[in-house]
Amino acid sequence: MTSPAPTAARISVIGAGPGGLTCARILQSHGIDVTVFDRDPGPDARDQGGTLDLRADSGQLALREAGLLDGFLARARPEGQEMRIMGVAGELRAHLIPEPDDLVKPEIDRGQLRDLLLESLRPGTVRWGCALTEVGGTRGGPRSVRFADGTTVETDLVIGADGAFSRVRPAVSPAVPQYTGVSFLEAWFHDVENRHPELSDLVGPGGAGAADGERALFAQRNSGGHIRVYVIQRVPVDWVARAGVGAGDTARLRAHLLDAFAAWSPRLRRLITDNDGPYVDRPIFALPVPHTWEHDPAVTLLGDAAHLMPPLGVGVNMAMLDASDLALSLANAATVGEAVRAYENVMLPRATDLAKALEGRTEDLLSDDLPPEFGDDAQG
């Protein structure tokens, strides 16, 4: 089949996260039609996760191309860049305080970013309740996207923006994410100024963390009086089941954690004991490095679907930069196939270089060494 011109193509984005929505927004701003399919029944179906830093050299560049940078800056929290490193005895080891006009990587709640992007799209762009089961068709296209409700849509380009366990990825690559050996357990704290004032003081406007080489705690301020805490451990992927604790048994799981963190100060252990509601188990996976695939003019990937890496502050930023590059390639190419090749010629080497630099770096999350951004000017 001859690849169609982007303006005449049927383009399907799978996944209404920041990457997929950024791609759709930039495509529409260049007069290219696009449909986004998402498995959630609606935009408010579930919690969208914690806070993100959007970096000037990646995520903010994508928002500039989308015409949404001012809207982002109006919602962002530059003060969220503040960081405190604690010792396990509860002492402050280092304190990084951003300048008032520092916009290198201000924070924004993931849900607020998603709302900003959703509000920028034409009505009906996102089709909710569409859980992808399979990408059909043959290499070169057209392709078909099949959903759990039995419907099928024929399309000239499938863009996999559907995250770590992408259902689009198998259409171009057999790679599957592998467990890194490190797992997060997420805990939530609400109305912290009134219900958890000591925790609010400990964390400040940004984040606070401590580690002992085997385990770590990281607390991060979200908007609206919320804080999320991540209990980080080197454990088997099924450690909760191995501990004989049901996923919803908060009391027994808390007792297990208190035993693991027995040597830590009572002040820090309150990050484990005082949370509102259950914990959420989040084992950390990564794709093999390098992850590449044979070019298919009718299927491509962006973000975690293309290059899942350890959570070291690059994931959403790279997804949005990918989305911008792909959308601009489609806006400037004669055919969809040419655009996909041009995009992958930029994205794949960039992702490979970054993934190689971060390979194995999940261990950094457990290290008690000060991060490199804490230079001599950081207050201790």
Give the C-alpha separation, 225 to 222, whole Å.
Answer: 7
- Domain ranges across the chain: 6-78+114-176+287-362, 178-285
Which structure tokens are listed for 53? 């830093």
Q: Give the pLDDT confidence score for residue 269 in this predicted structure.
A: 96
Residues 339 and 210 sit within 8 Å (Cβ to Cβ): no
Q: Give the pLDDT confidence score for residue 377 in this predicted structure.
A: 46
Give the C-alpha separation, 355 to 352, whole Å.
Answer: 5
Tens digits of residue pLDDT in 120-175: 999 999 999 999 999 999 998 999 999 999 999 999 999 999 999 999 999 999 99
| Alpha carbon distances (Å) from 111 to 302, 360, 375 | 20, 29, 32
Give the C-alpha separation, 27 to 17, whole Å.
Answer: 16
For tokens 């070019």, what's the residue? 295
Residues 291 and 237 sit within 8 Å (Cβ to Cβ): no
Alpha helix ranges (H) inside the chain: 18-29, 59-65, 69-75, 110-120, 192-195, 197-203, 239-242, 250-260, 266-273, 304-307, 315-332, 336-358
| Alpha carbon distances (Å) from 72 to 53, 118, 206, 263, 291 | 11, 13, 18, 42, 31
Q: Which CATH class is domain 6-78+114-176+287-362?
A: alpha beta
Which structure tokens are listed for 137? 């068709």
Q: Give the pLDDT confidence score for residue 38 in this predicted structure.
A: 98
Provide the residue count of the chain.
380
Give the C-alpha separation, 281 to 183, whole Å.
Answer: 8
Q: Give the pLDDT confidence score for residue 380 in this predicted structure.
A: 47
Q: Closest Cα to residue 317, out of 13, 17, 44, 15?
A: 17
Give the C-alpha separation, 314 to 369, whole Å.
Answer: 20
Question: What is the residue-level pLDDT of the chain in tens, covering all 380 positions?
Answer: 689 999 999 999 999 999 999 999 999 999 999 999 999 998 888 777 789 999 999 999 999 999 999 999 999 999 999 999 999 999 999 999 999 899 999 999 999 999 999 999 999 999 999 999 999 999 989 999 999 999 999 999 999 999 999 999 999 999 999 999 999 999 999 999 999 999 999 999 999 999 999 999 999 999 999 999 999 999 999 999 888 887 678 899 999 999 999 999 999 999 998 999 899 999 999 999 999 999 999 999 999 999 999 988 789 999 999 999 999 999 999 999 999 999 999 999 999 999 999 998 888 999 999 887 775 545 54
Give the C-alpha separation, 144 to 346, whole Å.
Answer: 26
Q: Which CATH class is domain 178-285?
A: alpha beta
* Helix, coil or strand: residue 158: strand
